[in-house]
C-alpha cells in the first residue's frame, strides 16, 4: 500500500467520518494516532452497516459478522469489499460513509501493517464494539416495523454501555500505557477500571440525549424494570406528556451518569500534567458530556426528537479555547469540573 493511501485513510477520510472525535485524534501523541484512528475507521464502517435501515436486519447482521471475521483474520472473504459496495455503500446519503465502506480493503491492509501488539488491540476493540452492534440488531425490531422493544434490567443497559463505549476506555488506556510510558500516574488496573467508567459515562449521555429519536425507530434503552417503577411503558414515552412523566427516571439515570463522570475525572487527573495532549483528549468529551447533562436536566421536552439536548458548535469552540491554558492545572480543571457537576446536581433538585 502506498503512503498516500494510508495518509488518505488516516487523514481526510478519518476527518470526514469522525466529526468532533477527529479533534481528539489530532491531539493524541504520534504513536497512538494510527492504531486509534484505524480502530475508529473499522468501528465506524461496522456501525454504518448496522445502521443502514434500507437493508434488512438479517442482511446487516450477516455483513457485520463477515467484517468482524475479516478483521480478526479468521475468515478470508475476497468478496466482502464488493458486497459492502453493492449492498450498503449505495444506500448512503453521506459521501464520506460511502467512501469508507469502499475502503475496507485498504483499511485491512493498514491493520496488517501494525505491530503485533497494536494489531491485537485493534482486533479486540473492534470485536467488542461489533458485539454491541450485534446486540442491537438481535434485540430490537426492524426500524420500519412500527414496534418498540425495551431492555429488561439496568444490568442489561450497563453491559450494553460497556460493549459500545466502556471498552473504548479500556482500549484507550492500554494504548496510552504502550505508547506513552509514564503518562499514567496510577496503576494500570485502576486506570483500566476508570477508563471503562469513562466510556460508560459518555454512552449514558448518548442514551439519554437520543432517547426520543431511538424510541421512534423501535429502540428503548430505558429498562422496563425501571419504567415499571414509574408506572410507564415504552409506548408512553412517545406521548405528549412522556417527557414530564419520565423526568424522574431520567434524573435517576443522570445521577448514575454523574458517578461515572467522577471516575472519568479521576482518570484525567491521573494523567501527568506534562502530557497535555492526552489531558485535552480526555477533558473535551468530559466537559461536553457534562454540559449535555446540564441541558438534559433543564429540558422539559427531553424526549421530543425536535428538541434534543445538544451542545452547540459555538459552545464546543468555547470549550476548546478555554481548555488550552488550563489543561496542565489540576486546580483549575477541578474548579471547572466542580462548577459543571454542581450545576447538574442543582438541576436535579428542581
Residue 286: partners with Cβ closer than 8 Å, 6 or more residues away:
198, 201, 261, 264, 265, 268, 337
What is the average pLDDT score of the chain?
A: 92
Look at residue 96 in the predicted model and tell me its pLDDT.
85
Longest CA–CA span in the chain (Å) reads 60
Angle, alpha carbons 49-121-160 (nearest 5°): 50
Look at residue 90 in the predicted model and tell me its pLDDT.
67
End-to-end CA distance of the chain: 58
Question: Predicted confidence band at 7 (pLDDT cuts at 50, 70, 90)?
Answer: confident
pLDDT per position as a tens digit, 267-322:
999 999 999 999 999 999 999 999 999 999 999 999 999 999 999 999 999 999 99
The rounded distance, in Å, linking the Cα atoms of 223 and 230 is: 11
Look at residue 30 in the predicted model and tell me its pLDDT.
82
Q: Please give the average per-residue pLDDT across 251-263, as a whole number.
A: 98
Decide if 164 contacts 139 (C-beta within 8 A).
no
pLDDT per position as a tens digit, 64-103:
999 999 999 876 667 777 777 777 766 666 678 888 888 8
Angle, alpha carbons 260-262-263 (nearest 5°): 65
Check whether 180 has a pLDDT greater than 60.
yes
Question: Predicted confidence band at 326 (pLDDT cuts at 50, 70, 90)?
Answer: very high
Look at residue 36 in the predicted model and tell me its pLDDT.
94
Buried b (16+ CB within 10 A) or exposed e, 304-318: eeeebbebeeeebee
**Of 117, 272, 263, which is closest to residue 199 (Cα–Cα)?**
263
Decide if 266 contacts 331 (C-beta within 8 A).
no
Query: Which grid cell sits at 68?
Result: 468482524
Check whether 213 has a pLDDT greater than 80.
yes
Structural domains in the chain, sorted by start: 1-116 (no CATH), 140-350 (1.10.600.10)
Q: Please give the average per-residue pLDDT across 243-264, as a whole number.
A: 98
Query: Which grid cell sits at 338?
Result: 466542580
Question: Predicted confidence band at 55 (pLDDT cuts at 50, 70, 90)?
Answer: confident
Decide if 77 contacts 38 (C-beta within 8 A).
no
Q: Please give the average per-residue pLDDT across 231-243, as a whole number.
A: 97
- Using only C-alpha atoms, the chain has a radius of gyration, in whole angstroms, of 20
Handedness of CA 91, 139, 129, 278 (dihedral sign): positive
Q: How far is CA 37 from the centre of its chain?
A: 14
Check whether 17 has a pLDDT greater than 60.
yes
- Partner residues linked to 184 by β-bridges: 271
Q: Please give the average per-residue pLDDT across 48-56, as a whole number.
A: 87
Q: What percent of the chain has pLDDT over 70?
A: 96
pLDDT per position as a tens digit, 92-122:
666 788 888 888 889 999 999 999 999 999 9
pLDDT per position as a tens digit, 115-144:
999 999 999 999 999 999 999 999 999 999
Beta pairing, strands 149-150 & 219-220: parallel
Decide if 83 contacts 63 (C-beta within 8 A).
yes
pLDDT per position as a tens digit, 142-168:
999 999 999 999 999 999 999 999 999
Residue 30: partners with Cβ closer than 8 Å, 6 or more residues away:
none
Check whether 54 has a pLDDT greater than 90.
no
Question: What is the pTM assigned to this prediction?
Answer: 0.93
Look at residue 1 in the predicted model and tell me its pLDDT.
56
Look at residue 84 in the predicted model and tell me its pLDDT.
78
Amino acid at each position: 500500500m502506498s503512503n498516500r493511501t494510508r495518509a488518505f485513510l488516516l487523514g481526510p477520510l478519518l476527518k470526514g467520518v469522525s466529526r468532533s472525535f477527529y479533534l481528539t485524534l489530532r491531539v493524541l501523541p504520534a504513536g497512538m494516532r494510527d492504531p486509534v484512528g484505524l480502530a475508529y475507521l473499522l468501528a465506524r464502517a461496522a456501525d454504518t452497516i448496522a445502521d443502514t435501515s434500507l437493508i434488512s436486519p438479517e442482511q446487516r447482521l450477516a455483513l457485520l459478522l463477515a467484517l468482524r471475521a475479516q478483521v480478526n483474520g479468521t475468515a478470508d472473504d475476497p468478496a466482502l469489499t464488493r458486497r459492502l459496495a453493492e449492498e450498503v455503500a449505495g444506500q448512503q446519503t453521506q459521501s464520506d460513509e460511502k467512501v469508507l465502506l469502499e475502503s475496507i480493503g485498504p483499511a485491512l491492509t493498514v491493520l496488517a501493517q501494525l505491530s503485533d501488539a497494536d494489531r491485537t488491540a485493534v482486533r479486540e476493540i473492534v470485536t467488542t464494539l461489533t458485539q454491541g452492534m450485534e446486540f442491537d440488531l438481535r434485540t430490537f425490531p426492524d426500524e420500519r416495523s412500527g414496534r418498540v422493544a425495551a431492555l429488561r434490567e439496568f444490568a442489561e443497559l450497563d453491559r450494553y454501555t460497556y460493549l459500545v463505549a466502556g471498552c473504548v476506555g479500556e482500549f484507550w488506556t492500554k494504548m496510552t500505557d504502550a505508547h506513552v510510558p509514564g503518562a499514567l500516574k496510577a496503576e494500570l488496573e485502576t486506570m483500566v477500571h476508570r477508563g471503562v467508567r469513562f466510556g460508560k459515562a459518555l454512552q449514558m449521555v448518548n442514551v439519554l440525549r437520543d432517547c426520543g429519536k431511538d424510541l421512534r425507530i423501535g429502540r428503548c434503552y430505558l429498562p422496563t424494570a425501571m419504567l415499571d417503577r414509574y408506572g410507564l411503558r415504552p409506548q408512553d414515552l412517545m406521548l405528549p406528556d412522556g417527557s414530564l412523566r419520565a423526568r424522574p427516571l431520567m434524573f435517576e439515570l443522570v445521577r448514575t451518569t454523574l458517578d461515572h463522570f467522577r471516575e472519568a475525572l479521576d482518570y484525567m487527573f491521573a494523567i501527568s500534567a506534562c502530557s497535555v495532549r492526552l489531558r485535552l483528549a480526555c477533558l473535551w468529551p468530559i466537559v461536553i458530556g457534562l454540559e449535555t447533562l446540564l441541558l438534559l436536566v433543564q429540558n422539559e421536552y427531553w424526549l421530543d426528537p425536535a428538541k434534543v439536548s445538544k451542545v452547540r458548535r459555538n459552545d464546543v469552540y468555547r470549550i476548546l479555547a478555554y481548555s488550552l491554558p488550563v489543561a496542565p492545572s489540576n486546580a483549575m480543571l477541578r474548579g471547572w469540573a466542580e462548577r459543571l457537576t454542581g450545576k447538574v446536581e442543582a438541576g436535579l433538585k428542581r
